[in-house]
Amino acid sequence: MLSMDVIHGQEDNIAEYYQQQVEVLEGFTEMDALAERGFIPGMSKEERDKLARSETFAIRISNLANMVLFTAKVYASIRSGSLAIIASTLDSLLDLLSGFILWFTAFSMQTPNPYQYPIGKKRMQPLGILVFASVMATLGLQIILESVRTLIYSDNTFNLTRDQECWVMGIMLSVTLVKFMLMVYCRSFTNEIVKAYAQDHFFDVITNLIGLIAALLANYFDDWMDPVGAIILAIYTIRTWSMTVLENVNSLVGRSAAPEYLQKLTYLCWNHHKAVRHIDTVRAYTFGSHYFVEVDIVLPAGMPLQEAHDIGESLQEKLELLPEIERAFVHLDYEYSHKPEHAQAHS
């Protein structure tokens, strides 16, 4: 007889499979609406504007809170001298500067210069994050080295007065509470940037608690607990930003979209016009935070150029209506037996 764990595992796999099928069908329904009506059904313009204002407010309040709370944690670091709280403050500095980079790159991307940047500035954001993450990883490594030196030479006599302890606990607990409320608020949105802020707030709650606990343990039990807490937080910071680096490297090198997304695009192309005979190629690859799409469709050989052009141009416009797509290129052909175009040469 199968054990209960095996049965539950099979049920989970079946539920996951059906959930994937539901998502595929929803994607096809969205593509049907786009193919037939030329737009994606959804909220009205007023509802979208209201949601956009709410999302902007969530981002602004998060940035303002990061500035105020970072200042408070700097004061807590100075009052306590705790390496763990200093490491937690470094993590807050990361949030503050990353928010500034997101704002600056977003502002830069909204001011296009087609002469100097003919394909846009979408890669500025991941490039800025890569540079920033490298600097922050270096700072995290410096904290690890300082903490290890403190452990080896035992030159950290950690002793908070009652007044210092009250100040540090008050500041760190207040910061943690504010971050928790911001996390709950930002999680109510579906916007990816706001969700990223919610994730940052959640991580801040964890790092603040670890820093405070490490400082209190060092104060009441043994000095070595403070640098050990700092090392844990620094390793966590380096790991988090290393994952961010890998994610942004993938967006810069042109990684392919998921097969499910390519399937949606293929479905849209096939149902775009009754004259489409075959679909030769469908590619979607990252270009910064969005996709570039290349599509090759096969039309009748005797079709007039004007009609073929209109079919291709309208397909391009439909593809570029999808929020994930920055630019779409549609190539028209009359047969599909040729070798793949733009094939890479092998050395």
* 147 and 276 assigned to the same domain: no
Do 204 and 176 belong to one domain? yes
Question: Are 302 and 326 members of one domain?
Answer: yes
Please report whether residue 343 resides in a domain: no
Q: Tally the domains of the chain.
A: 2
**CATH number, residue 148:** 1.20.1510.10
- pLDDT tens-digit readout, 126-171: 776 677 667 667 777 777 777 787 777 765 555 666 777 787 788 8
Q: How far apart are CA 298 and CA 312, in angstroms?
A: 10
Q: Does residue 29 fall inside a structural domain? A: no
pLDDT at residue 306, as a whole number: 94
What's the whole-number mean pLDDT along residues 248-261? Answer: 81
Best mean pLDDT range from 14-23, 234-243, 324-333: 324-333
Residues 269 and 228 placed together within one structural domain of the fold:
no
What one-letter code names the amino acid at 54?
S
**Same-domain pairing of 181 and 269:** no
CA 184 to chain centroid, in Å, comes to: 18
Is residue 347 situated within a structural domain? no
pLDDT on residue 268:
87
- 203 and 112 housed in the same domain: yes
> Does one domain contain both 247 and 269?
no
19 pLDDT band, cuts 50/70/90, is low
Domain boundary at 226, 253, 280, which?
253
- 165 plus 232 within the same structural domain: yes
d(CA 22, CA 211): 43
pLDDT at 313 over 90: yes
253: its two tokens? 């090198």
* Distance from C-alpha of 319 to C-alpha of 302, rounded to nearest angstrom: 26
Q: What is the mean pLDDT of residues 104-109?
A: 65
Task: Please check whether residue 25 lies inside any domain of the structure.
Answer: no
Q: Are residues 84 and 184 in the same domain?
A: yes
Q: Is the pLDDT of residue 3 over 60?
A: no
Q: Are residues 210 and 315 in the same domain?
A: no
Q: Of 237, 253, 269, which one is at a domain's C-terminal end?
A: 253
Tell me the pLDDT tens digit for each residue of 183-215: 888 888 776 667 767 777 887 788 778 777 877
Amino acid 88: pLDDT = 75
Q: CATH no. for residue 325?
A: 3.30.70.1350
Task: Give the per-residue pLDDT at 299.
Answer: 93
| 186 and 156 part of one domain | yes
Instruction: Determine the average pLDDT of the residues in 1-10.
Output: 53
* Mean pLDDT (whole number) for 338-347: 56
Q: What is the mean pLDDT of the chain?
A: 75
Residue 2 pLDDT > 50: no
Q: 296 is in which domain, residue-wise?
A: 259-333
Give pLDDT, residue 23: 61
- Asked which of 253, 284, 306 is the last residue of a domain, the reply is 253
Specify whether the CB–CB gap between 158 and 79 falls below 8 A: no
What is the pLDDT confidence band of residue 172, given thresholds at 50, 70 and 90? confident
